[in-house]
Amino acid sequence: MSPRERIADKMEFPPETQQPNVYPLSWESKTKKMEEIWEAAQRENWDPTKLCWDTFDVEKYSWEEREAIAYWWSILSVFDASAPPVFAAALIKTYEAHEEDPVRRCFFSVTRDEQNHEQMCGLAITKLLGSTSYLTHEPKSELGLKAQKNVKWLYYNGARYWEGYKKAVPKYSLAVLFSSFLMGEIAAATIFHQMAAGCKEPVFQEAFRNIGRDEGRHMAICMSLMERDYPHLKDEDKATITKQIRAGYLFLSGVLFEPPEEFWDIPKDFITNQRACDEVARKAGFGIPTYDQKKENWRGAMLNLKGVLDKYGTEFPAIPEVGITGREISDVEMEDIIPVF
The residue ranges that bind Fe ion (CB under 5 A) are: 114, 117, 215, 218, 341
Q: How far is the CB of 195 from Fe ion (least distance, A)?
A: 12
With H, G, I as helix, E, B as strand and everything else as coil, classify residue 51: coil
Q: How far is the CB of 220 from Fe ion (least distance, A)?
A: 11
Adjacent-strand bridge partners of 317 = 327
Q: Which of 326, 325, 305, 323 is nearest to 315 (CA)?
A: 326
Q: Which is nearer to Fe ion, 217 or 243 (CB)?
A: 217
Q: Which is nearer to Fe ion, 82 or 240 (CB)?
A: 82
Question: Do you find a cis peptide bond into 24, omega within 30 degrees of 0?
Answer: no
Does an H or E element contain 144, and which? helix 142-171
Q: Which is nearer to Fe ion, 148 or 205 (CB)?
A: 205
Q: Which is nearer to Fe ion, 148 or 179 (CB)?
A: 179
Q: Which is nearer to Fe ion, 215 or 336 (CB)?
A: 215
Q: Alpha-carbon distance 36 to 157, whole Å?
A: 37
Is residue 142 a contact partner of residue 313, using CB atoms and an 8 Å limit? no
Q: How far is the CB of 270 from Fe ion (least distance, A)?
A: 24
Buried b (16+ CB within 10 A) or exposed e, 161-176: beebbeebbeebebbb
Q: Which is nearer to Fe ion, 67 or 114 (CB)?
A: 114
Q: Alpha-carbon distance 281 to 60, whole Å?
A: 13
Size of the chain in residues: 341
The count of C-alpha atoms lying within 13 angstroms of the C-alpha of 259, restricted to the half-sphere facing its C-beta, is: 28
Q: How far is the CB of 9 from Fe ion (least distance, A)?
A: 51
Q: How far is the CB of 261 from Fe ion (least distance, A)?
A: 26
Q: How far is the CB of 112 from Fe ion (least distance, A)?
A: 11
